[in-house]
Chain A
Amino acid sequence: MIHFLKRLQYINTDTGNGIKRSAKALALATTVTVSLTGLLFAQAMGSAQASSDRTDLIVAMPTTWASHGPVVNSNFAARVTYSLYDGLVRRDWLSAPGGDGVNIVPALATSWKRVSPTEWDFSIRKGVKFHDGTDMTADDVVFSLNNTFGEGTELFAASGTLKTIVAKDSHTVRITTINPDPALLARLSTVMGNVVSKAYYQKVGQDAFGREPIGTGPYKWAGRIPGESVKLEVFDDYWGDKPPLNSITFREVPEVSSRIAGLITGEYDIVTSLPPTLTRPIDNDDATEIRAVAIENVQMITFRQYKKDRPIADKRIRKAMALSLNRALLADKLWAGMTEAGTYDFPGYGKYAVPERGALPFDPEGAKKLLKEAGYKGEEIRIRVVGGYYTNMTRAVEAGLEMWKEVGLNVKLDIIENWGQMGQEGDAYAASDNMWMTDPGGGMWFSWGRVGGHRLKDWGGTAPAEFLKLGTDIEQGADFDTRKKAYLDLLDLWDDLVPAILLYRPVEAYGVRKDLDWKPYTFFYMDFRAHNIKDNS
């Protein structure tokens, strides 16, 4: 042991100073290396800032989607495909100042005529080219409308009124509907009207088409790097006005803070999907600003009312839950005042919309009364939420728990990881619905009423008879008055039955470089056609 200690001392004292000096030199060397590398970074950052005539736009969004076929199911794909495809007709969003116009204007069809109550003839535009240089013909239109979900699958549910689509000649298409369909043009202006190249689609098949899509839009596919970006390039043979951008890169940036930071530092031109309460740093910056819109979608808490032994089977308890939730306050505080308490009535319904009607009020006293009438004894009510799926949903329900507690409702929150785990458990679940089209035949009726609607199971299979009758009147009604009356009655029926608590229309907030003339629409689509983008930098 003594021997050992001696050895230890020997190292620590005898050679200690020398070794310490060497260690200091080593430390110095490390420091110098690190600082030199630092200098190199700084230099490299100063150089390399290329410029060209037309802008190369960079859009940062939380993720990119794998497939970009004509009918997409993800808002991340929809932002991209709006530049890839055209339909027969196009909704002119800019025909109203809020980016929510409802006028229908010609696109791949130059004109149309209703030849009988159920038959429509569309004249197809001549000289339109697909991105691969081939000509677009009536055949492509017929093929696209017949195979919205790929070959051999049924028509997209929203087009369930269509009977046949045939080419009368090389530039005329006839669409026959099952019943008179006053909303046909609105229907065709949705994604289901997107036109693809028949020859290419049949050659490569659905999956490959989604990976390398070909349409007639102003920008063509330039590739996807999984996990990194999707890129589009200008299509110079576009039939419409010359597209103003050279390329658009949609880059994946999952972290909100990174998107905000990257916009402020000028790495991105537009960033999407910002929670509206977080936008102040962008507004405070001189070169960037927030452009936000309430979109044509409504977030909701949907009841599983088919569970007859549960308290929520009683419509009074459902209504009490809606009345005691201060949705106007949530809309104000969670969405920075950019939206209001929700209804199934969208401004996008144009002349059918009844904004003055308003949502169910906030009425905790009324709620208490209803609960008493229903004999509610504090039974547990469980709400299932897929965590992080809808912006602000978890926060809203967390806030809701406190508000429901105030009136004596015993509500619990179950957060699950993904839709696969949703199953049939719980008394209610968080969901959302799109307006679908600029006609009251979309929205509530599309989801809750007509055959194939994806909320039918919450009724227990089918909607109540009265609901079905009103919906059919909306869908097939001969004139405006019949349809509008049916629509108003349906809204009243909804407020009586409360199949779901409608929270609000969510807000889509974009951070945008200030000198970019670009307007967001009231849906996820990002329009980079000549009429909606100009770079003033």
Chain B
Amino acid sequence: MTRYIIIKLARSAFTLWFVVSAVFLVLRASGDPLYSIFSLGTPESTLDIYREKWGIDKSIFEQYIIYFQDIFRGDFGTSFFDARPAWDLIVERLPNTLLLGGTTFVISVVAGVSLGAIAALMRGSKWDRGIMTVAVASFSMPSYFLGLLLILFFSLEMRWLPTAGAGTWQHLILPATTLGLTLSGTIARFTRSAMLEVLRQPYMRTARAKGASKWRQIVWHALPNAAIPTVTVIGFQLGWLIGGSVVIETVFSWPGAGRLFIVAVGVRDFAVVQMFILMVASTVIIANLLVDILYGYLDPRITITGIKK
């Protein structure tokens, strides 16, 4: 098992290195970032000062070496645009992103699991069909479009919720709902099939034979068992959640790391783009690694090389 974990770790490290290097190359493959940041009237001599200051006057290979040396020293580069360490910029905005992501997660899990369970329990009924159709519909709608429609209805028309921005918990409702709808659809589908599987198991019969109440059967015996496969699926949705929040943060002017990334892409702010991608990739990789290792313990059929048969 130790060997299995070491191989997994090595592969994760390789993956991270590959992502970071590929991004580094892509960013430097085109054009000069200075023209996106300074106005056209700025004299070239001034631009040269900044080129030297930011180290983009060197060859790509030199920049690459320096970049990795810096990373190992804990320096993730300085934002061209903000003239501050990229690390500070992103970490500063993480609480907002985590708040939105966390709320979305809670909403989606509550809504997804309960709706999925209801659908499974009432299999074949109108409720089942209705819920499953809504679940499919929820990820057929472009999320940014849904977000705008929600703003127009709940903010402009009904005047219930603020249109955009952050600050109070009311600001959180629309973006979290928009983002959570898609996720809860996915979770509902998985919960339903997991639940159906569980309901077929012998222990459910045992529970009934023991005379447990219907509620107890469901909440005590069925749901927890259905939750195990569902939770692993939720783990894999993490990357999706991050990607989705990049778009939703723009629509709702939510001051999170995703919006920072979009702005940084627009002004070609190398350090911030790299730092963000590095962070997202490591988060997803670590999450997947944990799931893998957990599986390794739970399921002895997995071979040493980590390839599932």
Question: Within 8 Å by CB, do A and B touch in the complex?
Answer: yes
Cβ contacts A24-66/B at 8 Å (1 or 0 each): 0111001000000000011011000000000000000001001
- Scoring B83, B151, B173, B250 by chain A CB atoms within 10 A of each residue's CB, the highest score goes to B83
B83 touches A255 (CB 8 A): no
A418 touches B32 (CB 8 A): no
Shortest CB–CB separation between residue B114 and chain A, in angstroms?
Answer: 5
Q: Is A178 an interface residue (CB 8 A)?
A: no
Shortest CB–CB separation between residue A38 and chain B, in angstroms?
Answer: 9
Given contacts A44-B170, A264-B156, contact A63 B127 (CB under 8 A): no
Give complex CA distance A25, B33 in Å.
59
Shortest CB–CB separation between residue A2 and chain B, in angstroms?
Answer: 15
Give complex CA distance A20, B215 in Å.
11
Cβ contacts B84-126/A at 8 Å (1 or 0 each): 1000010011000000000000000001001101100111110
Q: Is A116 an interface residue (CB 8 A)?
A: no
- Give the residues from 209 to 245 in chain A that come closer than 8 angstroms, CB to CB, to chain B: 210-211, 225-228
Shortest CB–CB separation between residue A288 and chain B, in angstroms?
Answer: 12
- Give the residues from 450 to 481 in chain A that come closer than 8 angstroms, CB to CB, to chain B: 452, 454
Interface size on B, residues (CB 8 A): 73
Q: Which residues of A contact B168 (CB under 8 A)?
A: 44
Given contacts A226-B93, A255-B148, contact A8 B161 (CB under 8 A): no
Instruction: Tell which of A103-111, A346-354, A357-365, A419-427 binds the partner.
Output: A419-427
Instruction: Tell which of A120-128, A246-254, A306-314, A390-398 binds the partner.
Output: A246-254
Give complex CA distance A452, B253 in Å.
38
Q: Is B287 an interface residue (CB 8 A)?
A: no
B164 touches A262 (CB 8 A): yes
A252 to B, closest residue via Cβ: B253
Shortest CB–CB separation between residue B27 and chain A, in angstroms?
Answer: 10
Interface Cβ pair total, 8 Å cutoff? 172
A18 to B, closest residue via Cβ: B214
Q: Is A530 an interface residue (CB 8 A)?
A: no
B151 touches A257 (CB 8 A): yes
B260 to A, closest residue via Cβ: A227
Q: Is B280 an interface residue (CB 8 A)?
A: no
B253 touches A254 (CB 8 A): yes
Give complex CA distance A153, B48 in Å.
11
A41 touches B173 (CB 8 A): yes
Q: Is A15 an interface residue (CB 8 A)?
A: yes
B41 touches A454 (CB 8 A): yes
Q: Is A23 an interface residue (CB 8 A)?
A: yes
Give complex CA distance A228, B256 in Å.
9
Give complex CA distance A67, B84 in Å.
11
Given contacts A22-B218, A23-B122, contact A261 B43 (CB under 8 A): no
Q: Which residues of B contact A30 (CB under 8 A)?
A: 111, 114-115, 118
- Scoring A211, A227, A418, A447 by chain B CB atoms within 10 A of each residue's CB, the highest score goes to A227
Q: Which residues of A contact B32 (CB under 8 A)?
A: 420
Give complex CA distance A378, B252 in Å.
47
A225 to B, closest residue via Cβ: B255
B83 touches A207 (CB 8 A): yes
Q: Is B296 an interface residue (CB 8 A)?
A: no
A211 touches B159 (CB 8 A): no
Give complex CA distance A253, B252 in Å.
8
B114 to A, closest residue via Cβ: A30
Q: Which residues of A contact B142 (CB under 8 A)?
A: none
- Give the residues from 123 to 161 in chain B that come closer than 8 angstroms, CB to CB, to chain A: 123-125, 127, 148, 151-152, 155-156, 159-161
B46 touches A27 (CB 8 A): no
B260 touches A226 (CB 8 A): yes
Instruction: Tell which of B61-69, B261-269, B298-306 binds the partner.
Output: B261-269
A420 touches B36 (CB 8 A): yes
Q: Is A149 an interface residue (CB 8 A)?
A: yes
B160 touches A265 (CB 8 A): no
A420 touches B41 (CB 8 A): no
Q: Is A258 an interface residue (CB 8 A)?
A: yes
A11 touches B199 (CB 8 A): yes
A157 touches B33 (CB 8 A): no
Q: Is A113 an interface residue (CB 8 A)?
A: no
A255 touches B164 (CB 8 A): yes
Shortest CB–CB separation between residue A67 and chain B, in angstroms?
Answer: 7
Q: Is B189 an interface residue (CB 8 A)?
A: no
A11 touches B200 (CB 8 A): yes
Q: Is A7 an interface residue (CB 8 A)?
A: yes
A153 touches B259 (CB 8 A): no
Choose one: A41, A418, A422, A431; the contact of B160 (CB below 8 Å). A41
Q: Is B30 an interface residue (CB 8 A)?
A: yes
Give complex CA distance A20, B92 in Å.
48
B170 touches A45 (CB 8 A): yes
B200 touches A8 (CB 8 A): yes
A261 touches B200 (CB 8 A): no
Choose one: A18, A226, A420; the contact of B30 (CB below 8 Å). A420
- Scoring B35, B40, B163 by chain A CB atoms within 10 A of each residue's CB, the highest score goes to B163
A73 touches B163 (CB 8 A): no
Choose one: B43, B214, B250; the contact of A254 (CB below 8 Å). B250
Give complex CA distance A284, B151 in Å.
19
A29 to B, closest residue via Cβ: B114
Give complex CA distance A421, B260 in Å.
21
Shortest CB–CB separation between residue A458 and chain B, in angstroms?
Answer: 11
Cβ contacts B37-49/A at 8 Å (1 or 0 each): 0111111011001
Q: Is B162 an interface residue (CB 8 A)?
A: yes
Q: Which residues of B contact A41 (CB under 8 A)?
A: 160-161, 170, 173
Q: Is B251 an interface residue (CB 8 A)?
A: yes
B45 touches A154 (CB 8 A): yes
Give complex CA distance A41, B263 in Å.
32
B40 touches A418 (CB 8 A): no
Give complex CA distance A210, B166 in Å.
25
Shortest CB–CB separation between residue A97 and chain B, in angstroms?
Answer: 30
B-side interface residues toward A, CB under 8 Å?
30-36, 38-43, 45-46, 49, 79, 81-84, 89, 92-93, 111, 114-115, 117-118, 121-125, 127, 148, 151-152, 155-156, 159-166, 168-170, 173, 199-200, 204-205, 208, 214-215, 217-218, 250-253, 255-256, 259-260, 263, 266-268
Would you mind naming 13 contact pairs between A and B with Cβ atoms under 8 Å apart? A20-B122, A22-B217, A45-B161, A152-B49, A158-B41, A226-B255, A252-B255, A261-B156, A265-B163, A267-B162, A420-B33, A447-B41, A454-B40
The 3 closest A-B pairs by CB, nearest first: A420-B31, A73-B39, A228-B255
Known pairs A262-B164, A265-B163; list 8 more (Cβ under 8 Å): A20-B121, A26-B114, A227-B256, A252-B255, A255-B164, A418-B268, A421-B30, A454-B40
